[in-house]
Amino acid sequence: MKIAKLIKIASTKIEEGITSTHWLRHEADAEALVQALEVAPTDHARIVLCDVLGWRHEKSAVPILINMLEHSSFKVRSAAADALAKIGDPASGNALLRRLELPDPKIGVRRMLLAALGAVNCQEAIPLLIEYLQNPDPSQRGSAAWSLGAMQASESLPELEKVLRSERSQYPRDRCLRQLKRFERKLVSNRGGLRKNGVLK
């Protein structure tokens, strides 16, 4: 299929009444989707294509999605970060971390970057994520807590416990509590395995 047609479908609906996103997710060729994102003329088309590529877990799209993290539209930047999170390729970790370290006026973009770092298991981001547990914005604190839990970052346990004692906003509090419970389950599971193997009596 020609790239121009893919781009058109990304911005409209196809004849049978199926939404463009549904068709692109299930029928379109992966290479053509990546090429379409490279030349898409509108932000709407870029956002739709980012969503599709992320949903399909297309690793071949990682380089162009990393480029989209620098796009002038904050909606495109956010969509690209979300797609990279869904794909979960650790190779995108450094690019996501570098982008988070740059100033971005849009909280939504930073929130998505914070979550994506955990989704791609970027261990290098752990110190910065711990710092973000003290961020003034509760949504960013919550996203940082989620990523630390997703990576099982045991070095963050003291800070998560400290934050939980003083946190008043529901979202970051729930994230911290959930991650602490996740750590607790892992600890219990590890102890069970040690007992089974005769290490613990």
Give the CATH number, domain containing residue 141.
1.25.10
What is this structure's pTM?
Answer: 0.84
| pLDDT of residue 29 exceeding 60 | yes
32 with 117, same domain?
yes
pLDDT score of 60 more than 70: yes
Q: Are residues 100 and 194 in the same domain?
A: no
Task: Please give the pLDDT value at position 27.
Answer: 82
CATH number at residue 20: 1.25.10.10
Contact 120/81 with Cβ under 8 angstroms? Answer: no
Q: Please check whether residues 174 and 101 belong to one and the same domain.
A: no
For residues 76 and 149, state if they share a domain: no
Question: pLDDT tier at 9 (50, 70, 90 boundaries)?
Answer: confident
% the chain with pLDDT above 90:
53
pLDDT beyond 70 at 191: no
Rounded to whole angstroms, the Cα distance separating 7 from 19 reads 14
* Cβ count within 10 A of residue 158: 10
Claim to verify: residue 116 and residue 156 sit in the same structural domain:
no
* Whether the predicted pLDDT of 14 surpasses 60: no
Q: Are residues 76 and 129 in the same domain?
A: no
Same domain, 172 and 199: yes
Do residues 71 and 114 share a domain?
Answer: yes
Domain final residue pick, 99, 121, 143: 121
Q: What mean pLDDT, rounded, does the chain reach?
A: 86
- When divided into structural domains, the chain yields a total of 2
pLDDT at 118: 97
Q: Are residues 167 and 78 in the same domain?
A: no
* Residues spanned by the domain of 172: 123-201
Domain termination residue (choose one: 80, 97, 121): 121
Quickly count: other Cβ atoms within 10 Å of residue 141's Cβ.
24
Residue 138 and residue 75 share a domain: no
End of a domain among 80, 96, 121?
121
Question: Are residues 80 and 170 both part of a single domain?
Answer: no
What is the pLDDT, as a whole number, of residue 192? 52
Ranking 43-57, 81-95, 108-122, 183-197 by mean pLDDT, the lowest is: 183-197
Together in a domain, 127 and 198: yes
